[in-house]
A and B are shown apart, each in its own frame.
Chain A
Amino acid sequence: AQKVTQAQTEISVVEKEDVTLDCVYETRDTTYYLFWYKQPPSGELVFLIRRNSFDEQNEISGRYSWNFQKSTSSFNFTITASQVVDSAVYFCALNSGGYNKLIFGAGTRLAVHP
């Protein structure tokens, strides 16, 4: 069975703090894809990153970075020097089994305060 767990329901930080959002996934497939999406208060889903199971390189994009570790089935997301505009719900998702169906975690609500 495939499953995505985001254990942190809500996180509250002060601006400029670093924050890490955890994502743990379960799948028996050897080929799969992992995603992070951002949902700002306006409600739309914004794609942040896709990572396939054969690429364990960490990725950095500006203040965002992702740490993919197959050994622990984790795909964690770090925001460096957080800003108020980072306040949103963040979803981790798994695409596994070759059917392009996304399995989402429950989401982590991040509140960044001035």
Chain B
Amino acid sequence: DADVTQTPRNRITKTGKRIMLECSQTKGHDRMYWYRQDPGLGLRLIYYSFDVKDINKGEISDGYSVSRQAQAKFSLSLESAIPNQTALYFCATSGTANEQFFGPGTRLTVL
């Protein structure tokens, strides 16, 4: 089984809808991250969390919110989706070795 899972893997939604992307990990890591990938821009950090009580904004947090429900779960929400939030979203976890482990990605399309 995969160490980092993301649900859903694909989602099509309409402008204005609320969307939640979920991430779960079995690696026992405290640190979790959400990134979005846009063509030609690489991955950019949206939010990160170093433990359940620690949430931090990343480079592009506007329009997004997160919830760290448990050590193993980190959810990303789009309160009112807009078309320019169409992207590939990755969740990642990290232990103490400075390496990040990525989930398989969620492809989100906002019409």
Contact = CB atoms under 8 A, between A and B. Distances in A.
Contacts, number: 55
A106 B42 contact: yes
Contacts of B45: 101-103
A101 to B, nearest CB: 6
A62 to B, nearest CB: 20
B43 A91 contact: yes
Nearest to B95: A100
Contacts of A100: 31, 48, 94, 98, 100
A6 B40 CA distance: 10
B88 A44 contact: no
A50 B104 contact: no
A44 B31 contact: no
A75 to B, nearest CB: 15
A102 B40 contact: no
A47 to B, nearest CB: 7
Given A50-B99, A91-B43, A106-B40, A101 B104 contact: no
Interface in A49-92: 50, 52, 91
A24 B73 CA distance: 34
Given A105-B42, A106-B41, 19 more contacts: A33-B98, A35-B99, A37-B102, A43-B107, A44-B104, A47-B99, A47-B101, A47-B102, A50-B97, A52-B98, A93-B43, A99-B48, A100-B94, A102-B43, A102-B45, A103-B45, A104-B42, A104-B44, A107-B42
Interface of B: 31, 33, 35, 40-45, 48, 58, 88, 90, 92, 94, 97-102, 104-105, 107
